[in-house]
Chains A and B, each alone.
Chain A
Amino acid sequence: MTPLLEVKNVSKRFGGLLAVSDVSFTLNQGEILGLIGPNGAGKTTLFNVVNGVYKSDGGSIRFEGHDIAGELPHRVVHLGLARTHQIVQPLNEMTVEDNVTVGACFGREYLGLGAARAVAREVLEQVGMGTRGKLLARSLTIAGKKRLEVARALAAKPKLLLLDEVLAGLNPTEIAQMIELVRTIRDRGVSVFMIEHLMQAVMNLSDRIVVLNFGQKLAEGRPEEVARDPQVIEAYLGDPNIAEKLTDRN
């Protein structure tokens, strides 16, 4: 398999704090890669380094062969790497449809306004928000805003989608819908890199999982392997039988 994203020895330092320390991993075409770890482990920082919000302190990031370390966020989107935010960032005083149109207009295909609107409607339909296009983004519930984040990122027609805790704060029904949506996205050929705390979801969705702790990579592998790793259990999971509990249900 060809790697879509190749991260090598990437670090990020904030003053005296080494938030991400010498992390390497690859993400393959068509894969769902999970990223887990305790709060403050550096997961969101790693996302921010990958999509150019922060400049990495050393290391290389290759996306489809392009070196994107040090590229600005808008350039990274044009190359086909879109993301959502853990803390939702809606464009509040604009309609839901306009929010998604921004994603389509300035995404990988850099569409004109008319074509972008068509894509926006299509994507809103796909994420189940087809009827809410004319509402102001501020009026959505938290679940709606999370969906909007996903819709905006999808409208950019990315090859790789970075999802930062899209399940946090959702109720069980909404979680089930969102998991379905992530599967659909992958089935349409978009690779996914997701941060998630909800173990059941991440174990069932991911092809492989990377575990971060104190900025360092603790483990990497298939969900069952990672869940049985004694270091991961000690640092994060806390329960040696979690793998059985979570994967048996399927």
Chain B
Amino acid sequence: MILKRPSFWLILILSGIFIYLPLRGQNVPLREDLVLVAVAIILSSNLNLMIGYTGYVNFGHIVFYGLGGYIGLYLTTVRGWNLVVAAFAAGVGVSFLALLFGLGILRLRGAYFALATIGVLEAVQAFVMNFNPWGRSTGMYLSFQSYQSWGGAMRALWIDYYLIIGVMAASLVLSLGIKISKFGLGLFAIRENEDAAAVLGVNTTVYKAIVYSVSAFLPAMAGAFMFFKNGMIDPFVAFEFMLSLEGIVMLMLGGQGSVTGAALGAGMYEWLRSYLLTSPKLSDFQLVIAGGLLLVVVLFAPGGLIGWVYRLVPRSRGVIE
């Protein structure tokens, strides 16, 4: 069972650290740094379910996050829903949409699937830019009323932070839970050889559609919480293709297919990005370095950091999940 896995307890400890560190001395700048790391971990872990577990490269993963943000902001501001309920509804709604998209585009393989995921992202963005209830290209703003019900903006932002850490913990537990389950074994079989998996009895169509839909749920919730925190949303920040690419870089850097790898990659990349963004000499250089990094990883260490550790110490395969 999952409770017997050391990784499960490590996830809880990591989440505990994320909660404790900024709380000590009400350190808001640290909280704002950590929330970016948490969102990066959420995105790369859920992307890992598609890329690392199933072998399907999703270039449009950020669409789940953006749609979740829109649904969350719409439900809290326009409809006056409770934030947690709104975020949950965003997760369910986006997962359902993903299931529909998935049944359509998961017939494609390899590069064609990857292209189709970019198509989904562009199509959703174009739709939202012309969707009146969501403010078309100008987007939506959060009404300050929404903060009041949480006892003011200050308190609301802290609570929102804890909710995001909760989503991060849930993402890691989900990744671990799938990895050690029969469902995960079926996904790995699809990744290694989809035709062989089908001949061995894996219902590949259903498995792929389910994992695509599941990989949408927590990013959508994270989107709802993040855009609640930001207080505004528009189609350009919500569906930023660059963020999708950065998610892939994080995952490749840490090691696709590994729970630890997805989290480590996200942490390392966020650290590097914040260093580059704040460094006066390199501030416009961040994406160039991200691209170069991806190239180096793909060419010389296709398994990422964790793959490299696995190669160095083969016995670690069974230990680091």
Contacts and interface: CB of A to CB of B under 8 A. Distances in A.
Interface string B181-220: 1100110110011011111111110000000000000000
B189 A74 contact: no
Interface stretch (A34-42, A92-100, A204-212): A92-100
A137 to B, nearest CB: 8
Nearest to B203: A74
B202 A106 contact: yes
Contacts, number: 73
Contacts of A103: 200-201
A77 B181 CA distance: 21
Chain B binding surface SS class? helix
A105 interface: yes
B216 to A, nearest CB: 24
B192 A91 contact: yes
B198 A98 contact: no
A112 interface: yes
B181 A98 contact: no
Given A91-B193, A94-B192, A73 B199 contact: yes
A113 B198 CA distance: 18
Interface residues of B, number: 18
Contacts of A73: 198-199, 201
Contacts of A77: 199-201
A135 to B, nearest CB: 10
A152 interface: yes
Contacts of A74: 198-204
Contacts of B195: 53, 89
A147 B66 CA distance: 49
14 contacts: A72-B198, A73-B198, A74-B198, A74-B201, A74-B203, A78-B201, A89-B193, A89-B195, A89-B196, A93-B192, A102-B202, A103-B200, A106-B186, A156-B201
Interface of A: 51, 53, 72-74, 77-78, 83, 85, 89-94, 98, 101-103, 105-107, 110, 112-113, 116, 152, 156
Given A90-B193, A102-B197, 17 more contacts: A53-B199, A72-B198, A73-B198, A73-B199, A74-B202, A74-B204, A78-B201, A89-B196, A93-B192, A98-B185, A102-B202, A103-B201, A105-B185, A105-B186, A106-B186, A112-B182, A116-B182
